[in-house]
Structures are given as C-alpha cells and as structure tokens.
Amino acid sequence: SPEQVRAAAAAFRVYVSTGPRDAMGDYVVDHAVLTFLLDPEGLCRDCYGRGRTAEELARSVREHMENYEALPAE
C-alpha cells in the first residue's frame, strides 16, 4: 500500500519525491538509488550506492556472509 511504501522509505531513510505532472499527467519520481543488504533477522548490514562496482558489491556480500553471526535468542 502507499502507506507501507512511505513507512519503508522512512525506516531506511530513503529519499523519494514526486515531480510535477506534465500535460498528459505523467511525472518523474526522484529517489535515492541504493541497494540494502539485510541479514536473516531483517537488520540492515550494508548499503550500496551507484558508485560500487559489481565486484566490490559481491566481495562485500561474501564478507558479510562469511562473518555473519545470528543475534542471541531472547
């Protein structure tokens, strides 16, 4: 739902803005371009912008997977 999208954007501090509509009612959405790495608990472990290469991103994900430790059970 639109409310869930707004809540997710706020939770991850993602910038989103709807631009002005043109004569046909179309518009551009300005937004952050980020990929988030979440662990199995749903915690954000890393964030990748457009400046990262595929190799850098893959290396980072591998390192996070190799070093992952689950949170202690409550």
CA 2 to chain CA centroid, Å, is: 17
The annotation status of 64 as a binding-site residue, yes or no, is no
Q: Which residues are annotated binding-site positions for Cu cation?
A: 31
Q: Which residues are annotated binding-site positions?
A: 31
